[in-house]
């Protein structure tokens, strides 16, 4: 696939494709969109290295934010922006949907904006070296790591909590409060990503405490962590007429939506059902009831990701930083 193929497929000239890929404004929005869609559909990645040699380096650090409705990412992004500013670089954000391909988006952003480095804020856990070879600058995986993939540890950096262990701790907290019939509301049990990792943590906690695993207590509610999906998933779980006293939910906002589904069906939290989640957003300490949750250190995550990226850009080794979550007590959890 060459630039000529892209131009031909779009019915425009090579120079127009080139202008789009270089982020030049003198192209109509309609043509720009057509070209970028074609680039995405075909997987074409422009090779700019020859041209770049003649250019001065930029001070741009890209941040690809996957999942535009994720409030936790908003927190991380702000701290990352402040740290990038403070260090004299320019942050160039790009927001993509939860289902979009962040590696492709990052590779395009890198070429469009002449990035010096890249932060993936949210992404898949199963990258392959071939896939990541598209990215020609140092990058940091922020809020995730390559648990299911085949990247060599010394070839990428990551800053995140231990998702398996955090889920384990959350479920253990429910067990400590006397719960044994514990449901799990997860986007997917086998997405090779954050959801699978936290689901495995849930299962391990049950196993460790000799609680039999019951498939009927697990609800997969769709891959995108949205509140409507979580609401529907919880509603379906309640219709199953399976007994349970507590629910482990994967994130704060989906837990808030799940609690709404319970209340709408006459189940009170925490009197009838206890709920625990992972995130620790400020807003979930003001909902009724307040949410019991494992708090991820959002600010530290944003700041450490930028620091680590600058180290690597400066020739330092890739590293993997694991941050510690903290349990935040809320009214959604009661002792049986």
Give the interface with a second copy as residue ranges (CB under 8 A): 20, 23-27, 29, 32-33, 59-60, 68-69, 71, 74, 78, 81-82, 85-95, 113, 227, 231, 253, 256-257, 259-260, 263, 282-283, 286-288, 290
From 316, 221, 331, select the one nearest 275 (Cα to Cα): 331
**Is 148 strand, coil or helix?**
coil
Task: Considering the complex, state which of residue 27 and residue 197 has its C-beta at the smaller distance from a second copy.
Answer: 27
Rounded least distance, CB 165 to a second copy, Å: 28
Residues 309, 80: contact at Cβ < 8 Å? no
Rounded least distance, CB 132 to a second copy, Å: 23
Task: Considering the complex, state which of residue 65 and residue 174 has its C-beta at the smaller distance from a second copy.
Answer: 65
Rounded least distance, CB 221 to a second copy, Å: 14
State the alpha helices, DSSP H only, in the chain: 3-10, 14-21, 29-42, 49-53, 71-86, 102-113, 129-132, 163-176, 194-208, 227-239, 252-264, 298-313
Task: Considering the complex, state which of residue 74 and residue 169 has its C-beta at the smaller distance from a second copy.
Answer: 74
Task: Considering the complex, state which of residue 201 and residue 302 has its C-beta at the smaller distance from a second copy.
Answer: 302
Rounded least distance, CB 7 to a second copy, Å: 17
Query: Using CA atoms, how far apart are residues 91 and 89, in angstroms rounded to an integer?
Result: 7
- For residues 219-258, one letter each, b for 16 or more C-beta atoms within 10 angstroms of the residue's C-beta and e for the rest, the string is bbbeebbbbebbbbbbbebbeeeeebbbbbbbbbbbbbbb
Rounded least distance, CB 191 to a second copy, Å: 23
Task: Considering the complex, state which of residue 86 and residue 240 has its C-beta at the smaller distance from a second copy.
Answer: 86
Rounded least distance, CB 257 to a second copy, Å: 5
36 φ/ψ angles, rounded to the nearest 5 degrees: -65, -35
Task: Considering the complex, state which of residue 87 and residue 322 has its C-beta at the smaller distance from a second copy.
Answer: 87
In the sheet with 182-186, reading across from the earlier edge strand, the strands are 218-220, 182-186, 246-249, 274-279, 292-295, 326-328
């Amino acid at each position: 696939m060459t630039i000529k193929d892209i131009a031909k497929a779009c019915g425009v000239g090579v120079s127009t494709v080139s202008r789009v890929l270089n982020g030049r404004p003198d192209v109509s929005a309609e043509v720009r969109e057509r070209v970028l869609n074609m680039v995405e559909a075909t997987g074409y990645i422009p090779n700019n290295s020859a041209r770049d040699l003649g250019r001065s380096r930029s001070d741009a650090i890209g941040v690809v934010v996957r999942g535009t409705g994720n409030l936790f990412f908003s927190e991380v992004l702000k701290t990352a922006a402040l740290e990038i500013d403070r260090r004299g670089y320019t942050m160039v954000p790009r927001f993509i949907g939860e289902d979009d391909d962040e590696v492709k988006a990052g590779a395009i952003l890198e070429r469009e904006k002449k990035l010096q480095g890249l932060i993936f804020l949210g992404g898949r856990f199963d990258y392959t070296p071939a896939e990541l070879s598209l990215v020609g600058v140092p990058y940091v995986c922020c809020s995730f790591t390559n648990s299911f993939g085949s990247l060599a540890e010394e070839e990428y950096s990551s800053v995140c909590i231990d998702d398996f262990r955090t889920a384990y701790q959350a479920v253990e907290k429910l067990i400590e409060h006397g719960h044994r019939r514990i449901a799990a509301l997860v986007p997917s049990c086998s997405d090779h990503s954050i959801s699978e990792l936290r689901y495995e943590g849930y299962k391990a906690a049950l196993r460790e405490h000799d609680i039999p695993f019951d498939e009927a207590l697990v609800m997969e509610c769709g891959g995108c962590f949205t509140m409507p999906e979580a609401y529907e998933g919880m509603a379906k779980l309640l219709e199953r007429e399976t007994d349970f006293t507590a629910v482990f939910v994967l994130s704060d906002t989906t837990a808030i939506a799940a609690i709404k589904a319970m209340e709408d069906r006459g189940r009170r939290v925490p009197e009838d059902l206890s709920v625990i989640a992972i995130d620790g957003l400020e807003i979930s300490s003001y909902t009724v009831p307040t949410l019991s949750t494992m708090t991820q250190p959002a600010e530290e995550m944003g700041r450490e990701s930028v620091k680590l990226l600058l180290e690597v850009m400066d020739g330092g080794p890739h590293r993997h930083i694991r941050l510690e979550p903290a349990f935040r007590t809320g009214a959604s959890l009661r002792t049986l």
